[in-house]
Amino acid sequence: MAEGGKERKSSSSNNNEESVKLFVGQVPKQMTEDQLLAMFEEFAVVDEVNIIKDKTTRASRGCCFIICPSRHEADKAVNACHNKKTLPGASSPLQVKYADGELERLEHKLFVGMLPKNVSEAELSDLFSTYGVIKDIQILRGSQQTSKGCAFLKYETKEQALAALEDINGKYKMEGSSVPLVVKWADTEKERQARRAQKTQSQAMPNTNSQHPSLFGALPMGYPPPYNGYAYQAPGAYELVPYHLRGGIRPDLSLNISPRHYAPGSYMGSAYHTMPGLQYPIAYPGAIMSHRPLSSSPGTLSPTVLSCNSATSSGASGSSGGQVEGPPGANLFIYHIPQEFGDQELANAFQAFGQVLSSKVFVDKATGVSKCFGFVSYDSPSAAQNAITMMNGCQLGGKKLKDIELPYETSACFMTSA
């Protein structure tokens, strides 16, 4: 690509797993990289210094990255310099800290999802310790100690974590579970904040759609598209949609590379510490966009969207695609589904209104009996809205359908009695 394409072939240390990148603030703008290097080398081994410069003017922005060959050396630099000395011309003492995402990377921290609620730390540890030494393990729990069905896990080395990730993610089913575990690299602090911001934003979204159903489906542009970094698929679900469509929906799945795990060139002169490779899929073929009179106030819908940036390097062994989520506003959460309905029946009931990408009725893991709720994803918000409009007041499987308003997700509802 045009800019930033210079890689440093000479330095073999900067892509090393062991290397640690530190961010340094309060650096006088006139200082050179050589001067900085000389200064830090008094305290620790430093392989490289990169001044962070303005994209256009190339002037120093008053901060830099330094790369140390090991965590030990990095810690020496931090301990010796952070808040310890004020350089000439700086207003406050030097700031020396781990660069964004660095700590998470170094801790080899994994997120584990799709855990049965009754699984304990000990059981989880049993499973994962076959891949290496577990330094820390923690199942996330709610207020009454009830498991949230996910956990964090730290390994001693990256190799161990990666082995576990690749072997378990999307493949291993725990006792009594019908879905495989999800194993991903844990979010960085920054990703966490982004996630939280997105959540609160969608919850704060006022519900202004009220009177004009015809305008329903107009969505704000620039909403982060949904994305599942991982995938599983219920057996038979693929029958709902042609394969070629599945392939086309998520063209990005194949080329995901986590920005946190050093790939060659990931360091290059990087002045982009504010937005390191955010890798949203850009757009879906036939997604929202265009054809919409933006006349109505945007923000009428705020889809429940989970956006995952980190990659599952294995891609869950490629197989069989994933639970396909449609674009924002195209995913229906449906409850009070008649007990006898399965994925197929649910899809059948809803496929008249648009291209159904996926459908899923949740079932009790032990008994296999329907929990009477599920998801249907369309390829467009208008199809979803179409479904709501058409299903409203209809009868299906002896149940009356009713459309309800939820604050931030369009929903169709199978009412059992009223």
CB of 104 to DNA, least distance (A): 6
CA dihedral angle for residue 76, residue 80, residue 82, residue 83, rounded to 10 degrees: 160
Q: Decide whether 42 or 156 has the Cβ nearer to DNA.
A: 156
Alpha carbon distances (Å) from 134 to 18, 108, 155, 169, 171: 19, 10, 5, 17, 20
CB of 150 to DNA, least distance (A): 3
Q: Decide whether 52 or 181 has the Cβ nearer to DNA.
A: 181
Crossing angle between the packed helical segments 343-350 and 381-391, to the nearest 10 degrees: 90
Binding of residue 184 to DNA (CB under 7 A): yes
- Alpha-carbon gap, residue 318 to 316, rounded angstroms: 5
Binding of residue 190 to DNA (CB under 7 A): no
Q: Decide whether 27 or 186 has the Cβ nearer to DNA.
A: 186
Using the rule CB under 7 A, which residue among 40, 111, 155, 284 binds DNA? 111
**Residue 64, C-beta contacts closer than 8 angstroms, at least 6 positions apart:** 23, 24, 27, 33, 36, 49, 50, 51, 52
Q: Decide whether 31 or 412 has the Cβ nearer to DNA.
A: 412
Closest CA to 396 of 357, 330, 352: 352
- Alpha-carbon gap, residue 205 to 33, rounded angstroms: 47
Residue appearing with tokens 């939280």: 196
Binding of residue 196 to DNA (CB under 7 A): yes
Binding of residue 172 to DNA (CB under 7 A): no
Phi/psi for 105 (5° steps) reads: -65, -45
Using the rule CB under 7 A, which residue among 96, 99, 161, 186 binds DNA? 186
Binding of residue 225 to DNA (CB under 7 A): no
Could you give the string, one character per residue 373-402, with x where binding to DNA holds by CB under 7 A and - elsewhere?
x-----------------------------
β-pairing, 370-378 vs 95-98, is: unpaired
CB of 138 to DNA, least distance (A): 6
Stretch in the footprint of DNA (CB under 7 A) among 40-48, 180-188, 217-225, 291-299: 180-188
CB of 141 to DNA, least distance (A): 10
Q: Decide whether 61 or 371 has the Cβ nearer to DNA.
A: 371
CB of 407 to DNA, least distance (A): 9
Contact, 46 vs 73, CB < 8 A? Answer: yes
Could you give the string, one character per residue 231-270, with x where binding to DNA holds by CB under 7 A and - elsewhere?
xx--------------------------------------
**Residue 9, C-beta contacts closer than 8 angstroms, at least 6 positions apart:** none
**Residue 269, C-beta contacts closer than 8 angstroms, at least 6 positions apart:** 4, 6, 50, 53
Using the rule CB under 7 A, which residue among 45, 127, 163, 179 binds DNA? 179
Residues 326-355 that bind DNA (CB under 7 A): 333, 335
CA gyration radius, the chain = 25
Q: With left for phi above 0 and alpha for psi between -120 and 50, is residue 59 left, alpha or beta?
A: beta
Cβ-based neighbour number of residue 250 at 10 Å: 17
Cβ-based neighbour number of residue 395 at 10 Å: 10
Number of residues that bind DNA (CB under 7 A): 37
Contact, 115 vs 182, CB < 8 A? Answer: no
- Alpha-carbon gap, residue 396 to 108, rounded angstroms: 49
CB of 234 to DNA, least distance (A): 9
Binding of residue 198 to DNA (CB under 7 A): no
CB of 106 to DNA, least distance (A): 13
Residues 138-167 that bind DNA (CB under 7 A): 138, 140, 148-150, 152
Q: What is the DSSP letter of 316?
A: G
Q: Decide whether 63 or 308 has the Cβ nearer to DNA.
A: 308
Q: Decide whether 62 or 149 has the Cβ nearer to DNA.
A: 149
Residues 65-104 that bind DNA (CB under 7 A): 104
Q: Provide the binding-site residues for DNA, judged by CB under 7 A.
A: 104, 109, 111, 113-115, 138, 140, 148-150, 152, 179, 182, 184, 186-187, 192, 195-196, 228-232, 304, 306, 308, 310, 323, 333, 335, 362, 371, 373, 406, 409
